[in-house]
């Protein structure tokens, strides 16, 4: 395996390479941005229509009261987990190969949370009364229902989102100072000056910075786990067959990490190509990420099997029926597709020659994400179609174009936020790459010295 | 409700679960539906439309499964694959079962659905934000969501028909959940009258719209706490206990026909059904 | 108590209901709104109308002919909901879905609002003047009247107007009516509508009488049925057997539903008598002789009912006395329908039910107000007369013959041979569209009338129909008012003293108060009490019943198959739609058919076996074609139908009648063959033979039933116990 | 660093303290300025004239217009209050009943207008002043029965709790918020059940008592 990063890159070159990504964009960038905006406006259009006419346009019904909005909501929440995995967990574990790629992963966390939050909104029948679900003293003297997992959900997401933003921001401070120092006067310079909080790189600042960064990282990890556990409770705490499963929280967390890692691989490849970050987002790092993805894929597959087994041997006939329904009913093509994409496709990642094959990885990562999206849909929809009460079984209700439009639009929204972020903020952490290069050089020098001494 | 109030009374929140330590005091509205008498004629369902301002959704929306019938009549066939259903069909009027430990109540993020002191599962339309979690968690799927703004739909209530709307019942707009209320507007009026006379509502004084219409008297409705009420007598005679998830009589007295649907889910429904009886000899 | 000289319609005007337009209370505004809405206030107060509190008025339901008494809830001057009036022996406070929808007939947005002459609005004076002019030029015999079944004082006025014109051409027409059975009853029992006592019967065997759904007086029979099913009644729990080719709602509630080859009801009835005689029941000699050929094997072969089942039926009827055998629509709708009904009456006689479960109805002391039930033969008779061009002027009231007449009668063409057609109508229906002059009627909740139901379960009663609220549309008039105005044109001296129909009605009722049991009361009190009760029980003796059903002349032709049209069409009368006059009430359209659970459309019921043979699956649009016409409708695979038959509900497929009825489903009346019962001349509804073919289209059937069909997936949802496994004696 | 933590802790403490108070605070008992929006009525009805306190200077000579009010009981005109959910606006006949004998004001513009309505037999299109949202069921009868008849509170005090001091108003204006929290604050309090027993109970807490 090659080196994660060249040890002889000069610090000035690092600055120059990364800052170049903030300069006037290439045409490709504009194309991506335009496509993202178009996609997003499709979503906006759908929502405006739905808001004015009623939820009926989504072609939901009784019993199919939830649809793609909830499924996609879980999907985006899941996406958010890998940023935390890379930036916080791996940070605490001193895995320094994360350094060139954690920044965009962390941004991905923030933006996917923002996207997920939108789905909670568009799902509501009365979006204009959304504030009823916020706990604040009001003239109605009413509080939301603290027993509802949906409320925990809202709180967990808000906490996680705000923490993620803080974490992202704190981690960027030294880089913002670099930006401030290297840029020509203009609005950007003012922005960086403001955000850099007077960073000068003194020892005292570095010490406080390290402590704060570590503290927030520690804080974020339980949050990340809890968020998806709570999303899982939306289902596990209900009584419905197929949802009332004890293993849902870990299953959801595993699924979340899985889809997040897959998304990181996708974005890794895109960024590497668009911003020409080949020096920093190197193939060995990609390989490590891919191996991590593979490991999580297997964990997910295992937990999936556990869930099926738990249902199968539970003597809960209704839950069993739902499982059979998933495998043989109208949702069967999607369900098998999910199994294929989620458990079979990742097996390619076990082969070394694919671990650095960019076209293959790009395709695989997209398939993995498709699989994970299908997983969420397969959690939500089949239970509605085949619940406890046979009279209301309904196998023939499919999401309308409005629902699909909003799902589509959410990818546009995410891409839009992400692309704008990459142009405004350094998507590779300069100071940490410098650290990494420095540490690696020290290590190899000391190795070489030890060899020489021998 | 201030925070301190909320904290002080936290233990009482939703503590109307039918456990021995918190009995119902004055009223516990309940129903008994005799499936032997029910002919499936739909009169109850139409009466419910008339009383409760239920929107007619029209063919297209019905096709999409968006009908609003709070009370629906289900028709079952025997499942033994005979050539003809020569023992007839089975009809079942199904509406909100007003569960004592209602799965819908705990999950509502805004607390729009609650238990009342009378043992009803209330739905407050204006509080509802439309998350539809309650319906997702309802085992009977008897909650109906306003997918469209029915008052604005062209043929739901043309101007003339608006005059038929019952002023005691809110007309629901888009985005809120609704369901059978046991005709709470009638209960409130009856309680008000009884209160003026310093007494409780007597059996038979208040009827739900479905009960009132039912040509075969298959539906009885009343106060389960009142030992004189027909409903109380029926529940007692059939040995169906409100607070049980499996009835003792099912083992020992199989010649009784009272049962509750999906009882083992521990929602403790307030509606007892009486099994249909069919002559075996003919 | 209601004041003297009270005419509520005017009274509400004095009340000056200042309530602004009805607000749609909704979830829109969440905060207090000051000064936007107007308060309901009155000019003059009234004792009984307090804002915020409902007032109840008794009246009579006009949705069908059963004559149920209703109580309407009125608030702030608006009728909101109808409930049953407990004082009536017909419905005893209960109601059916059809009756509940009565408010939708009243508030229907498609009601006619002003008289129309040749498609143009015209003033009432002008409209009545046109009639006046026209009748002056005609002889009495040139004028004909086609009405629905009628009774009470509106009937009296109709007769008087006919007398005034010198016309004897009154055709009383009901597209759906038990007219053959009525005639058979007359022959067998001496009365047309004997009292049927399900509540006293230990067993009921019904040959296609859908008494729980749409037959005669369903709310009343439903109540009797509930009595009949009680385990703790002295007679014990009753057993219901329904014998019919297409399962009706009653069939779905039977202990045993027996699919019968269409038209063989009489054969089976005689077969049962044969079996009963064999089992040792003493049967009169003439009857025994008449049924000797009806051995179970032969009967089984002809009817498709197994020998074993015939034996069981005989055994049931032998042990369960008294019993009651009914002949319904499915038995009477054939060329030999009268024969079927007679055979069934014979079975009743043999079983000794006459006088026990079949009782004499009460006599109505005033024959002029007694019910005159409509029949189908009337339409054929009128049609003949129209075709011959003998009718110059036609009045139509309470009927929609252009819709209900089979196309084979060519009624529409014949109708247009009359030069002046006056149609009394609530809506612009198919017949009103053909009219020269359309007179818009008040709804049943705005109009005054009296009614005497044809089927009287207990004593005779005079039902009062009174306005529950002010007229919705200024341009409509009550039937009585129109007739009174027409009578004033002819007999001014006799009717001039009545300002309106209300005055006439009050006078008419009050003048016979002695006979109505109000002898001791002064007029105002009596009238006020009558209005308050909503009905007057008429004193009077019960009539006589004879038991003269005879076996003589019973003859059943062998069923002739038609290779080109192999299936029998059974047009079904459903509780929601009946003959289609209520098809524009959206609650009824949206109320699922109890058996198929289909809404907002018609359907073709096919037995799965037949469907498999023809390669038809649910949702296929099939063409059902008879010799006289064809319709296209969705197929519904229905196990409760004889494989040799298909069934299509009546009442759908309107080409007019407003937004809720127009274009919904297909009209099964249109394709009926014009075959009549040989004795009575009634159109034989079930004689039409059809073939069925796929059109290649397929849709998803819009119905309440879900993908699980009628299955419960092993859960205890709608449970059933066998009668020998249950103890009903202690039930509350 | 320490000072940073100290100030963070201080700020957080302040925030929680303030917000717990805010969350515990009662909603305002009156509208901001004690007055709801002014409502244009077809006739500017002077409540102060009818329900206001008598002026001692008024000698009771019917020919001299009184300066003060006439202390008419609220329920003399709003007859529905004690027996129906709605208090009801008096029928026109009721106004006329008195005013046809009060000649001193017979020619004033308002009374002339009143008689115009009467002669035309038209109901006066009064505007609602205390107009709760349509999904709310407020029952006057229950409150009147409890507070006036059972507990024996003076009529104008009991009515005034929700309607403000109508005695001082001409055209009625809303002076209380009539918000849900405002209703709830009173429902949470214990009120005497009647005038003598000393027993108390608080108002119902069910959603369906007020929401329909």
In sequence order, what DSSP letters do the residues of A216-263 get, joined into one string?
HHHHHHHHHHHHHHHHHHHHHTS--TTT--TTHHHHHHHHHHHHHHHH
Q: What are the φ and ψ backbone dihedral angles of D164, each rounded to 5 degrees?
A: 75, -170
Q: Which residue has the higher pLDDT, A230 or D195?
A: A230
What is this model's ipTM?
0.91
pLDDT band at D28 (very low <50, low <70, confident <90, very high): low
Contact at 8 Å (CB) between B217 and C731?
A: no
Q: Chain B contacts of A55, Cβ < 8 Å? A: 130, 145, 147-148, 174-175
Contact at 8 Å (CB) between C144 and C394?
A: yes
Evaluate if pTM is beyond 0.90. yes
Contact at 8 Å (CB) between A290 and A361?
A: yes
Output the CA torsion B99→B102→B103→B105 (10° steps). Answer: 140
pLDDT band at A454 (very low <50, low <70, confident <90, very high): low
Distances, alpha carbon C287 to alpha carbons A24, C324, C347, in Å = 109, 18, 10
Contact at 8 Å (CB) between A318 and A241?
A: yes
pLDDT tens-place string over residues A428-437 = 888 888 888 8
Whether B163 contacts chain C with CB within 8 A: yes
Contact at 8 Å (CB) between C325 and C208?
A: no
Q: Please tell me which of the candidates D19, D22, D184 has its beta carbon nearest to residue A141.
A: D184
Whether D23 contacts chain A with CB within 8 A: yes
Q: Please tell me which of the candidates D128, D132, D179 has its beta carbon nearest to residue C35.
A: D128
The set of chains that have 3 or more CB pairs under 8 A with A is: B, C, D
Residues in chain B where the model's pLDDT stays below 50: 1
pLDDT tens-place string over residues D164-184 = 888 888 888 888 888 888 888
Task: Inspect the interface and report whether the beta carbons of A393 and C708 lie closer than 8 Å.
Answer: yes
Among positive and negative, which fits the CA dihedral A114, A115, A121, A124? negative
CA distance A240 to chain B (A): 6
Mutation target to probe the A interface, by most A beta carbons within 10 A, among D184, D187, D189 is D184
DSSP A247-308: THHHHHHHHHHHHHHHHHHHHHHHHHHHTT-TTTS-HHHHHHHHHHHHHHHHHHHHHHHHHH
Instruction: Supply the pLDDT for residue C8.
Output: 43
pLDDT tens-place string over residues A343-365 = 999 999 999 888 888 899 999 99
Angle at A296 between CA A295 and CA A301, to 5 degrees: 100
Q: Chain D contacts of C18, Cβ < 8 Å? A: 122-125
Q: Please tell me which of the candidates A317, A388, A394 has its beta carbon nearest to residue C706.
A: A394
Lowest mean per-residue pLDDT among C97-106, C632-641, D3-12, D148-157? D3-12
A:D CB pairs within 8 Å:
26
Distances, alpha carbon A448 to alpha carbons A437, A438, A445, A452, B148, in Å = 16, 15, 5, 6, 74
Query: How far, in Å, CA of C465 to CA of C62, rounded?
Result: 8
Task: Inspect the interface and report whether the beta carbons of C599 and B59 lie closer than 8 Å.
Answer: yes
Query: How far, in Å, CA of B261 to CA of B272, rounded?
Result: 8
Query: How far, in Å, CA of C48 to CA of C2, rounded?
Result: 9
- In the numeric block, the tokens 């409770």 are attached to A233
First-residue to last-residue Cα distance in chain C? 38
Whether D25 contacts chain B with CB within 8 A: yes
Task: Inspect the interface and report whether the beta carbons of B64 and A56 lie closer than 8 Å.
Answer: yes
Nearest to B266 by CA among B79, B18, B45: B18
In this prediction, residues A330-353 reach a mean pLDDT of 92
Q: Which helix (H) or strand (E) holds C80?
A: strand C78-84
Instruction: Supply the pLDDT for residue B55.
Output: 93
Residues in chain C where the model's pLDDT stays below 50: 1-29
Contact at 8 Å (CB) between C270 and C302?
A: no
- In the numeric block, the tokens 């003026």 are attached to B196
Instruction: Supply the pLDDT for residue A147.
Output: 87
Mutation target to probe the D interface, by most D beta carbons within 10 A, among A129, A132, A140, A141 is A141
Task: Inspect the interface and report whether the beta carbons of A141 and D25 lie closer than 8 Å.
Answer: no
Q: Which helix (H) or strand (E) holds D7?
A: helix D2-24
Contact at 8 Å (CB) between C529 and C542?
A: no
Task: Inspect the interface and report whether the beta carbons of C706 and A317 lie closer than 8 Å.
Answer: no
Task: Inspect the interface and report whether the beta carbons of B109 and A150 lie closer than 8 Å.
Answer: yes
Task: Inspect the interface and report whether the beta carbons of D27 and A142 lie closer than 8 Å.
Answer: no
Beta bridge partners of residue C173, listed in sequence order: C375
* For residue A63, cis peptide bond before it (omega within 30 degrees of 0): yes
Whether D180 contacts chain A with CB within 8 A: yes
Q: What are the φ and ψ backbone dihedral angles of A38, each rounded to 5 degrees?
A: -60, -45
Q: Please tell me which of the candidates D89, D122, D178 has its beta carbon nearest to residue C32.
A: D178
Angle at C144 between CA C143 and CA C145, to 5 degrees: 135
Nearest to A303 by CA among A239, A254, A231: A254
What is the SS3 assignment for C602-636? CEEEECHHHHHHHCCCCCEEEEEEECCCEEEEEEE
Helices assigned H by DSSP within A21-135? 27-53, 68-79, 81-84, 90-92, 102-123
Task: Inspect the interface and report whether the beta carbons of C42 and D40 lie closer than 8 Å.
Answer: no
Give C591's DSSP letter.
Answer: S
DSSP chain B: --HHHHHHTGGGTTTTSS-TTS---S--EEEEEETTT-----HHHHHHHHHHTPPP-HHHHHHTT----SSEEEEE--SS--SS-TT--EEEEE-----TT-HHHHH-TT--EEE-TTS-EEE-GGG-----HHHHT-SS---EE--S-GGGSTTTS-HHHHTTS-TTSPPP-TT-EE---SSHHHHHHHHHHHHHTTSPPPTTS---HHHHH-TT--EEEEETT-TTSHHHHHHHHTT--TT-SS-THHHH-TT--EE-TTGGGS---SEEEE-EEE-S--
Residue B104 tokens read as: 């819908």
Instruction: Supply the pLDDT for residue C18.
Output: 37
Query: How far, in Å, CA of C119 to CA of D209, rounded?
Result: 53
CA-based R_g, chain C, Å: 26
Q: What are the φ and ψ backbone dihedral angles of C609, each rounded to 5 degrees?
A: -65, -45
Task: Inspect the interface and report whether the beta carbons of C14 and D121 lie closer than 8 Å.
Answer: yes
Task: Inspect the interface and report whether the beta carbons of B107 and A238 lie closer than 8 Å.
Answer: yes
Cβ neighbours, 10 Å, residue A31: 11
Task: Inspect the interface and report whether the beta carbons of B128 and A66 lie closer than 8 Å.
Answer: no
B:C CB pairs within 8 Å:
311
Nearest to C732 by CA among A307, A412, B272, D16: B272
Instruction: Supply the pLDDT for residue C27.
Output: 43
Whether B91 contacts chain C with CB within 8 A: yes
Q: What are the φ and ψ backbone dihedral angles of A295, each rounded to 5 degrees?
A: -60, -45
- B73 to chain C: nearest residue by CA? C594
Task: Inspect the interface and report whether the beta carbons of C16 and D40 lie closer than 8 Å.
Answer: no
Whether A147 contacts chain B with CB within 8 A: yes
The set of chains that have 3 or more CB pairs under 8 A with C is: A, B, D
Q: What are the φ and ψ backbone dihedral angles of C282, each rounded to 5 degrees?
A: -80, 125
Q: Which helix (H) or strand (E) holds C422?
A: strand C420-425
Instruction: Supply the pLDDT for residue C6.
Output: 41
Task: Inspect the interface and report whether the beta carbons of A391 and C715 lie closer than 8 Å.
Answer: no
Q: Chain A contacts of D24, Cβ < 8 Å? A: 137
* C-alpha of C305 from chain center: 30
Mutation target to probe the D interface, by most D beta carbons within 10 A, among B8, B111, B116, B134 is B116
Task: Inspect the interface and report whether the beta carbons of D212 and B170 lie closer than 8 Å.
Answer: yes
Instruction: Supply the pLDDT for residue B22.
Output: 64
CA distance C27 to chain D (A): 7
Q: Chain D contacts of B171, Cβ < 8 Å? A: 134
Beta bridge partners of residue C603, listed in sequence order: C634
Cβ neighbours, 10 Å, residue D32: 8
Q: What are the φ and ψ backbone dihedral angles of C462, each rounded to 5 degrees?
A: -105, 115
Mutation target to probe the C interface, by most C beta carbons within 10 A, among B60, B69, B70, B75 is B75
Contact at 8 Å (CB) between C413 and C204?
A: no
Q: Please tell me which of the candidates A140, A208, A211 has its beta carbon nearest to residue D181.
A: A140
pLDDT at A332 over 80: yes
Pairing of strands C567-572, C645-649: parallel
Cβ neighbours, 10 Å, residue C122: 18
Instruction: Supply the pLDDT for residue C427.
Output: 95
Nearest to C374 by CA among C578, C147, C577: C147
User: Is residue B42 exposed (0-12), middle (13-18) or buried (19+ Cβ within 10 Å)?
Assistant: buried
Q: Which helix (H) or strand (E) holds C647?
A: strand C645-649
Mutation target to probe the B interface, by most B beta carbons within 10 A, among C231, C250, C590 is C590
How many C-alpha atoms does C370 have within 13 Å on its Cβ side?
14
Helices A203-236 and A149-182, axial angle in degrees (round to 10): 150
Give D147's DSSP letter.
Answer: I
């Amino acid at each position: 395996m090659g080196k994660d990063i060249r040890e002889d890159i000069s610090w000035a070159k690092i600055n120059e390479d990364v800052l170049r990504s903030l300069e006037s964009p290439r045409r490709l960038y504009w194309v991506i941005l335009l496509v993202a905006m178009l996609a997003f406006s499709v979503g906006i259009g759908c929502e405006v229509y739905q808001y004015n006419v009623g939820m009926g346009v989504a072609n939901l019904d009784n019993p199919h009261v939830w649809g793609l909005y909830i499924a996609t909501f879980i999907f985006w929440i899941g996406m958010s987990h890998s940023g935390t995995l890379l930036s916080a967990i791996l940070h605490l574990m001193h895995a320094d190969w994360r350094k060139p790629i954690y920044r965009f992963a962390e941004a991905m966390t923030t933006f996917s949370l923002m996207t997920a939050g939108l789905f909670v909104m568009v799902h509501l029948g009365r979006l204009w009364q959304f504030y009823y679900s916020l706990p604040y003293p009001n003239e109605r003297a009413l509080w939301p229902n603290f027993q509802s997992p949906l409320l925990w959900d809202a709180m967990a997401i808000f906490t996680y989102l705000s923490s993620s933003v803080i974490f992202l921001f704190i981690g960027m401070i030294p880089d913002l100072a670099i930006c401030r120092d290297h840029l020509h006067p203009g609005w950007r310079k003012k922005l960086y000056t403001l955000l850099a909080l007077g960073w000068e790189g003194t020892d005292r600042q570095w010490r406080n910075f390290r402590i704060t960064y570590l503290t927030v990282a520690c804080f974020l990890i339980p949050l990340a786990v809890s968020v998806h556990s709570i999303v899982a409770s939306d289902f596990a705490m209900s009584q419905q067959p197929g949802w009332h499963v004890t293993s849902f929280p870990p299953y959801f967390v595993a699924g979340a990490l899985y889809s997040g890692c897959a998304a990181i691989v996708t974005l890794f490849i895109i960024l590497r190509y668009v911003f020409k970050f080949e020096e920093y987002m190197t193939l060995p790092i990609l390989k490590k990420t891919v191996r991590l993805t593979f490991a999580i894929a297997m964990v997910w597959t295992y937990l999936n099997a556990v869930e099926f087994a738990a249902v199968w041997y539970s003597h809960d006939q209704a839950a069993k029926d739902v499982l059979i329904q998933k495998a043989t009913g109208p949702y069967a093509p999607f369900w098998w597709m999910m199994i294929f994409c989620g458990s079979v496709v990742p097996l390619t990642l076990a082969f070394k020659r694919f671990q650095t094959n960019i076209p293959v990885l790009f395709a695989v990562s997209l398939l993995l994400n498709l699989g994970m999206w299908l997983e969420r849909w397969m959690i939500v929809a089949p239970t509605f179609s085949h619940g406890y009460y046979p009279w209301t079984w309904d196998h023939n209700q499919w999401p309308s174009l409005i629902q699909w439009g909003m799902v589509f639009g959410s990818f546009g929204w995410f891409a839009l936020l992400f692309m704008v972020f990459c142009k405004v903020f350094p998507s590779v952490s300069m100071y940490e790459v410098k650290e990494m290069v420095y540490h690696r050089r020290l290590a190899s020098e000391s190795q070489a010295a030890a060899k020489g001494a021998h | 409700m201030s925070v301190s109030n909320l904290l002080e009374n936290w233990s009482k929140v939703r503590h109307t679960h039918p456990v021995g330590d918190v009995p119902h005091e004055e009223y516990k509205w309940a129903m008994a539906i005799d499936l032997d008498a029910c002919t499936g004629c739909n009169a109850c369902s139409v009466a419910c439309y008339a009383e409760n301002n239920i929107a007619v959704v029209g063919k297209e929306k019905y096709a999409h499964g968006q009908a609003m019938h709070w009370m629906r009549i289900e028709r079952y066939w025997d499942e033994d694959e005979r050539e003809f259903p020569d023992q007839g069909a089975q009809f079942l009027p199904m509406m909100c079962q007003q569960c004592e430990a209602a799965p819908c109540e705990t999950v509502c993020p805004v607390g729009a659905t609650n238990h009342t002191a009378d043992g009803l599962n209330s739905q407050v339309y204006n509080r509802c934000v439309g998350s539809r979690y309650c319906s997702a968690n309802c085992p009977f799927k008897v909650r109906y969501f306003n997918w469209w703004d029915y008052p604005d739909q062209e043929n739901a209530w043309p101007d003339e028909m608006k005059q038929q709307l019952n002023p005691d019942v809110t007309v629901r707009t888009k985005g809120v959940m609704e369901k059978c209320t046991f005709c709470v507007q009638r209960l409130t009026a009856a309680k008000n009258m009884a209160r003026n006379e310093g007494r409780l509502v007597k059996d038979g004084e208040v009827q739900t719209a479905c009960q009132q219409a039912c040509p075969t008297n298959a539906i009885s409705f009343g106060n389960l706490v009142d030992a004189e009420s027909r409903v109380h007598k029926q529940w007692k005679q059939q040995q169906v206990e409100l607070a049980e998830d499996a009835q003792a009589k099912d083992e020992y007295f199989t010649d009784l026909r009272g049962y509750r649907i999906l009882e083992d889910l521990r929602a403790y429904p307030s509606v007892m059904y009486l099994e249909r009886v069919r002559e075996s000899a003919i | 108590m209601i004041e003297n000289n009270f005419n509520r319609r005017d009274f509400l005007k004095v009340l000056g209901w200042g309530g602004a337009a009805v607000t749609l209370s909704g979830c829109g505004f969440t905060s207090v709104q000051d000064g936007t809405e107007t308060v309901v206030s009155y000019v003059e107060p009234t004792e009984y109308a307090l804002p915020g509190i409902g007032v109840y008025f008794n009246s009579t339901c006009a949705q069908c002919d059963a004559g149920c008494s209703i109580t309407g809830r009125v608030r702030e001057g608006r009728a909101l909901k109808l409930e049953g009036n407990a004082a009536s022996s017909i419905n005893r406070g209960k109601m059916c879905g059809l009756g509940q929808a009565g408010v939708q007939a009243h508030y229907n947005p498609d009601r006619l609002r002003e008289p129309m002459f040749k498609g143009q609005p015209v003033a009432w004076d002008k409209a009545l003047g046109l009639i006046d002019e026209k009748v002056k030029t005609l002889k009495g015999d040139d004028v004909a009247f086609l009405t629905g079944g009628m009774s009470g004082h509106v009937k009296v006025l109709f007769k008087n107007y006919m007398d005034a014109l010198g016309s004897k051409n009154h055709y009383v027409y009901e597209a759906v009516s038990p007219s053959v059975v009525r005639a058979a009853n007359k022959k067998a029992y001496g009365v047309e509508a004997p009292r049927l006592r399900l509540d006293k019967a230990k067993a009921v065997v019904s040959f296609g009488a859908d008494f729980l759904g749409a037959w005669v007086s369903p709310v009343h029979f439903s109540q009797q049925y509930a009595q009949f099913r009680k385990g703790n009644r002295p007679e014990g729990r009753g057993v219901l057997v329904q014998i019919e080719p297409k399962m009706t709602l009653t069939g779905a509630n039977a202990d045993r539903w027996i699919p019968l080859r269409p038209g063989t009801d009489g054969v089976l009835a005689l077969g049962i008598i044969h079996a009963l005689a064999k089992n040792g029941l003493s049967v009169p000699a003439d009857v025994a002789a008449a049924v000797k050929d009806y051995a179970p094997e032969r009967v089984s072969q002809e009817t498709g009912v197994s020998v074993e089942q015939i034996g069981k039926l005989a055994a049931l009827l032998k042990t369960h006395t008294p019993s009651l055998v009914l002949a319904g629509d499915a038995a009477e709708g054939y060329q030999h329908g009268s024969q079927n009904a007679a055979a069934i009456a014979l079975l009743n006689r043999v079983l000794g039910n006459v006088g026990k479960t079949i009782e004499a109805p009460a006599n109505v002391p005033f024959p002029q107000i007694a019910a005159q039930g409509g029949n189908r033969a009337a339409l054929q008779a009128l049609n003949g007369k129209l075709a011959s061009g003998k009718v110059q002027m036609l009045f139509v009231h309470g009927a929609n013959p252009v819709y209900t007449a089979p196309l084979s009668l060519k009624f529409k063409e014949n109708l247009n041979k009359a030069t002046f057609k006056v149609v009394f109508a609530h809506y612009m229906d198919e017949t009103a569209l053909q009219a020269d002059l359309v007179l818009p009627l008040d709804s049943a909740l705005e109009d005054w009338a009296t009614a005497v139901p044809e089927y009287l379960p207990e004593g005779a009663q005079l039902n009062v129909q009174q306005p529950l609220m002010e007229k919705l549309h200024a341009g409509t008039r009550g039937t009585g008012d129109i007739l009174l105005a027409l009578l004033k044109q002819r007999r001014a001296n006799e009717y001039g003293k009545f300002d309106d129909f209300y005055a006439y009605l009050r006078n008419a009722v009050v003048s016979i108060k002695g006979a109505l049991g109000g002898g001791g009361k002064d007029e105002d009190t009596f009238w006020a009490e009558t209005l308050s009760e909503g009905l007057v029980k008429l004193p009077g003796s019960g009539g006589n019943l004879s038991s003269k059903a005879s076996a003589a002349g019973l003859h059943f032709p062998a069923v002739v198959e038609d290779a080109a049209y192999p299936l029998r069409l059974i047009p079904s009368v459903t509780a929601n739609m009946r003959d289609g006059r209520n098809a524009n009430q959206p609650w009824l359209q949206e109320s699922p058919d109890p058996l198929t659970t289909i809404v907002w459309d018609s359907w073709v019921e096919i037995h799965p076996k037949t469907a498999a043979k023809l390669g038809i699956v649910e949702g296929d649009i099939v063409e059902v074609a008879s010799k006289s016409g064809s319709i296209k409708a969705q197929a519904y695979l229905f196990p409760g139908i004889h494989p040799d038959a298909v069934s299509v509900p009546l009442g759908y497929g309107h080409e007019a009648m407003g937004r809720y009825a127009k274009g919904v489903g297909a009209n099964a009346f249109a394709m009926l063959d014009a075959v009549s019962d040989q004795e009575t001349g009634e159109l034989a509804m079930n004689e039409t033979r059809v073939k069925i073919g796929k059109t290649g289209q397929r849709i998803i059937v819009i119905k309440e039933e879900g993908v699980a069909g009628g299955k419960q997936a092993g859960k205890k949802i709608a449970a059933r116990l066998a009668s020998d496994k249950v103890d009903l004696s202690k039930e509350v | 660093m320490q000072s940073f933590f100290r100030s963070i802790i201080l700020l957080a403490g302040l925030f929680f303290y303030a917000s717990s108070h805010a969350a515990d605070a009662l909603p305002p008992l009156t509208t901001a300025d004690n007055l709801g929006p002014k409502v244009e009525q077809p006739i500017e009805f002077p409540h102060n004239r009818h329900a206001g306190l008598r002026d001692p200077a008024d000698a009771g000579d019917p020919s001299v217009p009184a300066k003060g009010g006439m202390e008419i009981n609220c329920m003399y005109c709003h007859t529905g209050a004690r027996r129906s959910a709605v208090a009801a606006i008096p029928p026109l006949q009721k106004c006329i009943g008195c005013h046809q004998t009060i000649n001193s004001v017979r020619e004033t513009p308002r009374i002339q207008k009143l008689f115009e309505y009467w002669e035309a037999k038209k109901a006066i299109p009064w505007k609602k002043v205390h107009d709760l949202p349509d999904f709310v069921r407020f029952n006057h009868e229950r409150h009147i029965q409890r507070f006036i008849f059972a507990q024996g509170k003076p009529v104008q005090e009991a009515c005034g709790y929700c309607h403000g001091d109508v005695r001082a108003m001409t055209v009625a204006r809303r002076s209380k918020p009539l918000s849900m929290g405002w209703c709830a604050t009173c429902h949470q309090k214990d009120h005497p059940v009647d005038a003598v027993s000393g027993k108390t109970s608080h108002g119902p807490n069910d959603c369906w008592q007020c929401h329909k």
